[in-house]
């Protein structure tokens, strides 16, 4: 009987600890979200959306130029990264499914997926900023595209693999060339999954700071030129949070809330899109 | 034009489109390879002046002096390793606990919301963890935790040196904790996926023999998923090593090798983030990029090893990785 009690005790203790670990994780999530909402809402005002970032010491101002810059560079990043990523994913899932080149590319893609984003920033600095001679919005967009690409490759491949082989075979049997089968049968069937991948990629790059440090840099003024440095939310948060000015710090929290809210919304939308695919497909 | 001719033309058009489409998918796939190659070549090229000037001293010396233009990356390498190890010490037990809770313990109504919450935590950008660490965690540690550590743990023999010193609030310890908070949801999500690859029939045989839940986890689930767990943990380590923004806010940016975990220091990524745009001399800039090369080599090795371990499980099973 004693041995059984010991086993039961150990069981209870271990399971209790694992529940405790989960509680700790959730408490930190709660603590971060609470601070974010409390300080972010306090920094929120209409001016945040209508005025550009203020000079030091100024009590007014907003984040309009940074919001615009983040939106533009994220959109451009996706526009550059999505076609390449989707084509490469198509190669891995369809044409090169079993080739050894594909396994190498799959592996490289997985490594790129987790590679430190600051390294990508340095790479784009050497590749684009140095030849151009100055920091620019377009170099920031390229850096974000390189970060988005592996995410899109991965989801495209996974989603195309979920399309039943029978559907593709039926198309082939009707005399369609592979490109026809892929674009008219496989893509529509995998559409919601591929959209999810895009949403996740947007979520991933819209909060990235490190790759923008030496590419888009920052811009205190309203600027729409792609060849000039462009303001963006992460860089403004970085600069303003570390400043001694109260107003700047308030704006940093407002920006942090905006960005987190946007990313959480995107992630939730992506989840909803996936759950429409039906059971089993949910987390693949 | 006869219908046979029209058909032949149609076929030729189809073949051409096939070639174009196939070619562009292949080109896009090869571009990924070139990308990685390009990263390696361009960074090595830019780092060459620093490497050829300082040679081995670059990684063995603790000098970082823009005034005399002499650079050694030792303090940044040290900071990177120390903060990442600290983060792993905090994060691994918690992540494994969460994964166990999610796969074996949580009632179905709790499983999904908690799982989603953990995954959402993983989606929060690192800069948010950075400012939270600076404004919330650092003052908390400075006022309540670090003075206690200095007063009590600091007097212990052997390990005392780790906890000595003035409570700055920012430093290795704070950076380690922030990193841990950041990588926990990530590691937990991957380990959960690994645990879910364990066939139910194995677990059921365990229960059938009268094992407790913990015994099934420890003697069936864990051994079965050992490689995957190590892969998940190393993937988390890869993140911690390369993480920039979360660390930059709370590390203190001091190029020192200090034994105390309470002391401010720097990491490779924090040094690059802080100093790159201010690097005035070519050698300064090259030295920062050379640090980037070192970081790339370290993280590449860790991530590649992790991926190889996770590969055996098959990629399909691992959505979160």
Instruction: Give the 3-state DSSP-derived string for B87-130, with helices as H, strands as E and coil as C.
Output: HHHHHHHHHHHHHHHHHHHCCHHHHHHHHHHHHHHHHCCHHHHH
Q: Is there a contact between A185 and A163 (Cβ–Cβ < 8 Å)?
A: yes
Torsion of CA A24, A28, A30, A32, to 10 degrees: 180
Task: Using the predicted structure, report yes or no on whether residue B137 has a pLDDT greater than 70.
Answer: yes
CA separation for the pair A151, A104 (Å, rounded): 17
Q: Is there a contact between A123 and A213 (Cβ–Cβ < 8 Å)?
A: no
B110 touches chain A (CB under 8 A): no
Query: DSSP label at A18?
Result: H
The pLDDT profile of chain A, 284 residues, written as one tens digit per residue, is 688 899 999 999 999 999 999 999 899 888 999 999 999 999 888 988 998 898 887 788 889 999 999 999 999 999 999 999 999 999 999 999 889 999 999 999 988 988 899 999 999 999 999 999 999 999 999 999 999 999 999 999 999 999 999 999 999 999 899 999 999 999 999 998 899 899 999 999 998 999 999 899 888 888 888 889 999 999 999 999 988 888 999 999 999 999 999 999 998 888 887 776 544 443 43
A11 touches chain B (CB under 8 A): yes
The DSSP-derived string for B121-169 is: HHHS-HHHHHHHIIIIIHHHIIIIIHHHHHHTGGGSTTGGGGG-S---S
Please give the residue of chain A at the shortest CA–CA distance from B235: A114
Instruction: Look at strands B70-71 and B64-65 and give their pairing.
Output: antiparallel
Instruction: Identify the burial level of A21 via C-beta atoms within 10 angstroms of its C-beta, where 0-12 means exposed, 13-18 middle and 19 or more buried.
Output: buried
Return the residue matching tokens 């920052």: A218
Secondary structure element (H or E) that encloses residue A201, with its range? helix A191-206
Contact B292 A118 (CB under 8 A): yes
Q: Is there a contact between B130 and B178 (Cβ–Cβ < 8 Å)?
A: yes
Residue B243 distance to chain A (closest CA, Å): 6
Residue B232 distance to chain A (closest CA, Å): 12
Please give the residue of chain B at the shortest CA–CA distance from A182: B21
At how many degrees (to 10) do helices B108-123 and A2-43 cross?
50
The DSSP-derived string for B35-48 is: HHHHHHHHHHHHHH
What are the residues whose beta carbons fall under 8 Å from the beta carbon of B97, sequence distance 6 or more?
A: A17, A18, A19, A20, A21, A22
Structure confidence at residue B318 as a pLDDT band (50, 70, 90): low
Q: Over the Cα atoms of chain A, what is R_g?
A: 23
Q: What is the pLDDT of residues B151-184, one digit of tens each?
A: 888 777 777 778 877 888 899 999 999 999 999 9
Structure tokens at B136: 């919330």
Closest CA to A251 of A31, A38, A39: A39
Closest CA to A62 of A77, A80, A46: A46
CA separation for the pair B122, B132 (Å, rounded): 15
Q: Is there a contact between B190 and B229 (Cβ–Cβ < 8 Å)?
A: no
CA separation for the pair A97, B293 (Å, rounded): 33
Closest CA to A177 of B25, B24, B21: B21
What interface predicted TM-score (ipTM) does this complex get? 0.90
What are the residues whose beta carbons fall under 8 Å from the beta carbon of B152, sequence distance 6 or more?
A: none
Torsion of CA B175, B178, B180, B181, to 10 degrees: 180
What are the CA-CA distances from residue B55 to residues A102, A216, B44, B268 (Å)?
37, 32, 14, 18
Please give the residue of chain B at the shortest CA–CA distance from A90: B25
Backbone angles phi, psi at B64, to 5 degrees: -140, 90
Point out the residue among B35, B136, B213 whose CB comes nearest to the CB of A35: B136
Backbone angles phi, psi at B65, to 5 degrees: -130, 100
Which of chain A's residues have a Cβ under 8 Å away from the Cβ of B29? 87-88, 91-92, 96, 101-102, 105
Q: What is the pLDDT of residues B21-80, one digit of tens each?
A: 999 999 999 999 999 999 999 999 999 999 999 988 888 888 888 888 889 899 999 999
Average pLDDT along chain B: 89
CA separation for the pair A186, A161 (Å, rounded): 9
DSSP SS3 for A175? coil
CA separation for the pair B75, B54 (Å, rounded): 15
A48 touches chain B (CB under 8 A): no
Closest CA to B292 of B305, B279, B280: B279
CA A149 from centroid of its chain's CA atoms: 10
For testing contact with chain B, the best of A3, A4, A32 (most B CBs within 10 A): A32
Please give the residue of chain A at the shortest CA–CA distance from B38: A123
Instruction: Please state the rounded mean pLDDT for residues B240-249.
Output: 92
Contact B22 A17 (CB under 8 A): no
Q: Is there a contact between A124 and A215 (Cβ–Cβ < 8 Å)?
A: yes
Which of chain B's residues have a Cβ under 8 Å away from the Cβ of A101? 29
Which residues in chain B (185-214) have CB-CB distances under 8 A to chain A? 185, 188, 193, 212-214
Side-chain-facing half-sphere of A159: CA atoms under 13 Å: 28
**pTM to 2 decimal places:** 0.91
What are the CA-CA distances from residue B177 to residues A214, B134, B160 (Å)?
27, 12, 20
Which residues in chain A (218-247) have CB-CB distances under 8 A to chain B? 234, 237-238, 241-242
Which residues in chain B (28-87) have CB-CB distances under 8 A to chain A? 28-33, 35-36, 38-39, 42-43, 45-46
CA separation for the pair B137, A106 (Å, rounded): 39
A31 touches chain B (CB under 8 A): yes
Please give the residue of chain A at the shortest CA–CA distance from B189: A283
Closest CA to B189 of B129, B316, B102: B102
Torsion of CA A141, A147, A151, A152, to 10 degrees: 30
Point out the residue among A85, A177, A210 whose CB comes nearest to the CB of B14: A177
Q: What is the pLDDT of residues A197-224, one digit of tens each?
A: 999 999 999 989 999 998 998 888 888 8
Point out the residue among A91, A126, A238 whose CB comes nearest to the CB of B28: A91
């Amino acid at each position: 009987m004693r041995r059984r009690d010991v086993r039961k005790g150990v069981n209870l203790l271990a399971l209790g600890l694992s529940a405790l670990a989960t509680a700790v994780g959730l408490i930190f999530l709660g603590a971060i979200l609470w601070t974010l909402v409390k300080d972010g809402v306090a920094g929120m005002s209409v001016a945040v959306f209508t005025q550009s970032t203020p000079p030091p010491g100024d009590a007014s101002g907003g984040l309009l130029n940074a919001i615009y810059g983040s939106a533009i560079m994220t959109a451009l990043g996706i526009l550059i990264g999505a076609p390449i990523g989707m084509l490469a994913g198509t190669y891995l899932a369809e044409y090169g499914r079993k080739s050894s080149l594909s396994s190498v590319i799959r592996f490289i893609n997985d490594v790129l997926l987790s590679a430190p984003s600051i390294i990508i920033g340095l790479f784009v600095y050497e590749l684009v900023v140095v030849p151009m001679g100055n920091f620019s919005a377009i170099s920031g967009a390229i850096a974000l595209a390189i970060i988005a690409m592996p995410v899109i490759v991965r989801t495209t491949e996974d989603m195309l693999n979920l399309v039943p082989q029978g559907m593709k075979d039926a198309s082939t049997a009707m005399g369609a060339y592979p490109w026809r089968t892929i674009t008219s049968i496989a893509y529509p069937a995998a559409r919601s999954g591929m959209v999810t991948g895009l949403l996740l990629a947007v979520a991933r790059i819209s909060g990235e700071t490190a790759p923008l440090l030496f590419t888009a840099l920052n811009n205190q003024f309203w600027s729409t030129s792609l060849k000039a440095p462009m303001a963006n939310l992460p860089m403004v948060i970085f600069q303003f949070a570390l400043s001694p000015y109260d107003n700047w710090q308030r704006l940093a929290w407002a920006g942090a809330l905006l960005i987190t809210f946007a990313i959480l919304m995107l992630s939730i939308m992506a989840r909803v899109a996936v759950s429409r695919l039906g059971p089993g497909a949910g987390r693949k | 034009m006869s219908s046979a001719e029209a058909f032949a033309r149609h076929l030729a058009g189809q073949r051409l489109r096939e070639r174009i489409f196939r070619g562009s998918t292949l080109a896009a796939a090869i571009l990924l390879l070139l990308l990685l190659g390009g990263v390696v070549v361009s960074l090595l090229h830019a780092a060459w002046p620093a490497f050829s000037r300082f040679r081995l001293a670059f990684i063995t010396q603790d000098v970082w002096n823009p005034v005399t233009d002499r650079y050694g990356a030792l303090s940044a390498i040290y900071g990177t390793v120390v903060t990442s190890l600290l983060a792993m010490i905090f994060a691994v037990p918690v992540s494994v606990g969460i994964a166990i809770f999610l796969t074996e313990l949580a009632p179905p109504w709790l499983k999904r919301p908690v799982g989603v919450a953990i995954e959402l935590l993983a989606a929060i950008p690192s800069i948010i963890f950075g400012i939270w660490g600076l404004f919330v965690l650092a003052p908390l540690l400075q006022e309540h935790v670090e003075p206690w550590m200095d007063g009590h743990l600091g007097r212990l023999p052997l390990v005392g040196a780790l906890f000595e010193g003035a409570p700055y609030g920012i430093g290795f310890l704070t950076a380690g904790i922030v990193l841990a908070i950041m990588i926990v949801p990530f590691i937990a999500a991957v380990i959960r996926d690994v645990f879910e690859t364990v066939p139910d029939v194995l677990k059921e045989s365990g229960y059938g023999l009268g094992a407790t839940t913990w015994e099934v986890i420890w003697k069936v689930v864990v051994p079965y998923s050992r490689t995957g767990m190590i892969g998940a943990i190393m993937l988390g380590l890869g993140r911690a090593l390369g993480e920039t923004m979360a660390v930059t806010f709370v590390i203190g940016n001091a190029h020192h090798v200090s034994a105390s975990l309470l002391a401010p220091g720097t990491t490779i990524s924090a040094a690059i983030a802080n100093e790159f745009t201010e690097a005035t001399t070519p050698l300064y800039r090259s030295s920062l990029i050379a640090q980037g090369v070192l970081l790339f080599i370290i993280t590449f090795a860790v991530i590649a090893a992790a991926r190889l371990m996770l590969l055996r499980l098959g990629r399909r099973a691992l959505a979160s990785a």
